[in-house]
Amino acid sequence: MATSSPPPPPPPHAVIFPFMAQGHTIPLLDISKALSSRGLKVTVVTTPQNAPFISSKVSDCSSISISVVPFPSVPDLPRGCENTASLPSMELLVPFIAATKKMKQPFEALLKEMVENGSRPICVISDFFLSWTLDTCRSFDIPRVVSHGMGVLPMVVLKTVSSMDVQRETT
């Protein structure tokens, strides 16, 4: 009588949530491909208008899926404006960033569904503009990794200048 071995455990699952701007999305798609090539299941969270672009960049990676959450309709933004490239003016960047905070509930529902379906993420990697994802991740006890999307040198300069400003303010 042959004994069957238990099925292999599912691969680790990472969720990637880029800010809706090409310069922020592309580096996170590169990270998604790198994680996928190392055997992780990756879910990229995006909006309906951004999904075709993301799909075109990851279609060759079978372990990367896309989950679409709605972008909120807000009075300050033109209808269908779901990417900074479609903003008629950069003066609308602040309302655009504020609108992303209204994506919290659909994102929470998505994470809840993943957890309930046995595909609990080992982490969420989200853009620094989506800082509200930290509270959501904490509520699910899922680590959140912040992505700044910039190189090491600009980040070091930013952190150095910021720390110098703090030191000046305290003296």
Question: What number of other Cβ atoms are within 10 A of residue 133's Cβ?
Answer: 26
Tokens 């703090």 locate to: 166
- The reported pLDDT for the residue numbered 1 is 55
Q: What is the pLDDT of residue 166?
A: 59
CATH number among 3.40.50.2000, 3.20.20.70, 3.40.50.1980, 3.40.50.720, domain 13-170: 3.40.50.2000
Give residue 39's pLDDT. 94
Annotated catalytic residue, options 127, 135, 141, 148: 127
- Nearest alpha-carbon partner for 100 in 3, 29, 20: 20
Query: Is residue 65 within a helix (H) or strand (E), and if so which, with residue range?
Result: strand 64-68
Catalytic site includes residue 148: no
Nearest to 148 by CA among 165, 166, 131, 123: 131
pLDDT tens, position by position, for the chain (171 residues)? 556 778 878 889 999 999 999 989 999 999 999 999 999 999 999 999 999 999 999 999 999 999 999 999 988 899 889 999 999 999 999 999 999 999 999 999 999 999 999 999 999 999 999 999 999 999 999 999 999 877 778 778 877 887 776 566 666
User: Which entry of 13, 24, 30, 148 is annotated as an active-site residue?
Assistant: 24
Q: pTM here?
A: 0.86
Active site residue 165: no
* Domain segments of the chain as ranges: 13-170
